[in-house]
């Protein structure tokens, strides 16, 4: 569990199992919500209120984000990694993965290909490789990309606060870091070696980035590694903590769910689509102002539906391969399998068909 929470996993499970219909109804009727409302809204009793929750979430979403959906794309600059995450095909032991780190020229070509689709917000992603992805290198990449995109986000190995200050100066303004699991024992099992085996250093990543000036800090756990309700309770507590400590930054949620990988990892606690939706609706209702993204791992129909009620941004035309947009013509070396393989234009059309506007830019770091 998130370490500042005073409840254990079994206490959370016991609580949610005893939530009643009137408790869910009372949480839905409130204007301001607390952590227990989140528990009520993710409880089994909440299944019977999903239509009402869709309406409430849609209302909250419109209040803060209007009828808009922001779009972005990830750019994988490298997939060498010194970590041993048991579920990831980029782990150091997985010999089936073709490794590649892009040169600055290749990064530019990739970025130009993304920019040509209209995307103006970029998420830079890399495996953890301290020989290559140093703060200096990431900063150089940031300076290059800052001239091409109005918004740059980062999803790389956790850095020190000082490191984040340099990266912020180089042009990155948003950070994503999945805790993977808040369960300390399971975290240890899934991350047996490498720098990522340090649970606490990873846990306080968003705090360091927020203190260094990052405008947006993203949190998530990986759905499938542990029981989802205690994980969601931890995620909510983590977010509430960050909203207090980094009040100038905006918290972003993601709900990445396992899908099959080449390495064949099978999650012990699979989460079905109904539970993902329930969780996303509950988080939108309890945290109406926070950003929420919907993963490309989800099916197109689900993504098109959830951006109308809960999520406010989504990736379009993602390639999760270093070089996947322009440089590589050979086989895919992706970190995970994409379920939504539509071209960006098809994603934009679907958003517009639902009466929403596609937002390419809602912030410009060059002004």
Which residues are near ligand SF4 by CB under 6 A? 81, 83, 85, 88, 90-91, 127-128, 196
Distance, C-alpha 305 to centroid of its chain: 18
CA atoms within 13 A on the CB side of 6: 1
Give the contacts of 253 (CB within 8 A, at least 6 positions apart). 218, 219, 220, 235, 239, 283, 287, 290, 291, 292, 293
- Residue 194 Cβ, how far from ligand SF4 at the closest point, in Å? 7
Question: In this structure, are residues 221 and 179 in contact, taking their beta carbons and an 8 Å threshold?
Answer: yes
C-alpha pair distances (Å), 213 with each of 152, 209, 218, 237, 361: 14, 6, 14, 22, 20
- Residue 91 Cβ, how far from ligand SF4 at the closest point, in Å? 4
- Residue 38 Cβ, how far from ligand SF4 at the closest point, in Å? 27
- Residue 199 Cβ, how far from ligand SF4 at the closest point, in Å? 14
Measured from the CB atom, is 83 or 313 closer to ligand SF4?
A: 83
Measured from the CB atom, is 90 or 302 closer to ligand SF4?
A: 90
| Helices 300-309 + 344-353 axis angle, to 10 | 50
- Residue 53 Cβ, how far from ligand SF4 at the closest point, in Å? 32
Measured from the CB atom, is 2 or 90 closer to ligand SF4?
A: 90
Dist CA 39 CA 89 (whole Å)? 33
**Residue appearing with tokens 């440089």:** 327
Measured from the CB atom, is 85 or 122 closer to ligand SF4?
A: 85
Measured from the CB atom, is 265 or 302 closer to ligand SF4?
A: 265
Measured from the CB atom, is 5 or 177 closer to ligand SF4?
A: 177
- Residue 106 Cβ, how far from ligand SF4 at the closest point, in Å? 19
- Residue 258 Cβ, how far from ligand SF4 at the closest point, in Å? 12
Beta-bridged to residue 71, according to DSSP, are: 314
Question: In this structure, are residues 68 and 357 in contact, taking their beta carbons and an 8 Å threshold?
Answer: yes
Question: In this structure, are residues 37 and 288 in contact, taking their beta carbons and an 8 Å threshold?
Answer: no
Kindly report the backbone phi and psi dihedral angles of residue 332, in degrees, each rounded to the nearest multiple of 5, phi listed first: -75, 140
Measured from the CB atom, is 99 or 211 closer to ligand SF4?
A: 99
């Amino acid at each position: 569990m998130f370490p500042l929470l005073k409840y254990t996993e079994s206490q959370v499970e016991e609580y949610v199992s005893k939530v009643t219909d009137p408790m869910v109804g009372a949480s839905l009727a409130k204007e301001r919500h607390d952590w227990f409302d989140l528990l009520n809204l993710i409880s089994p009793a909440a299944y019977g209120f999903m239509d009402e929750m869709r309406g409430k979430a849609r209302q909250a979403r419109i209040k803060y984000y209007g009828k808009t959906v922001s779009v972005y794309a990830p750019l994988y600059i490298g997939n060498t990694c010194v970590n041993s995450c048991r579920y990831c095909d980029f782990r150091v032991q997985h010999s089936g993965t073709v490794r590649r780190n892009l040169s600055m020229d290749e990064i530019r070509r990739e970025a130009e290909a993304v920019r040509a689709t209209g995307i103006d917000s970029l998420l830079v992603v890399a495996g953890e490789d301290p020989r290559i992805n140093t703060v200096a290198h990431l900063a150089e990449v940031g300076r290059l990309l800052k001239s091409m995109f109005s918004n740059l986000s980062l999803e790389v190995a956790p850095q020190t606060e000082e490191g984040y200050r340099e990266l912020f100066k180089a042009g990155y303004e948003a950070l994503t870091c999945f805790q993977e699991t808040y369960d300390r024992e399971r975290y240890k099992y899934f991350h047996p070696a490498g720098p990522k085996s340090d649970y606490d250093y990873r846990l306080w990543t968003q705090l360091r980035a927020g203190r260094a000036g990052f405008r947006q800090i993203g949190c998530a756990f990986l759905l499938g590694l542990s029981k989802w309700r205690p994980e969601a309770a931890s995620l909510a507590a983590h977010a509430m903590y960050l909203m207090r400590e980094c009040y100038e930054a905006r918290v972003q949620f993601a709900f990445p769910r396992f899908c099959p990988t080449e390495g064949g990892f099978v999650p012990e606690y699979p989460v079905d689509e109904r539970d993902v939706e329930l969780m996303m609706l509950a988080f939108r209702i309890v945290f109406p102002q926070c950003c929420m993204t919907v993963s490309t791992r989800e099916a197109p129909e689900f993504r098109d539906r959830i951006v109308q009620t809960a999520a406010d941004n989504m990736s379009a035309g993602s390639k999760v391969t270093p070089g996947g947009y322009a440089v590589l013509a050979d086989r895919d070396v992706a970190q995970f399998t994409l379920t939504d393989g539509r071209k960006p234009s098809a994603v934009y059309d679907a958003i517009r068909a639902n009466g929403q506007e596609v937002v390419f830019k809602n912030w410009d770091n060059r002004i």
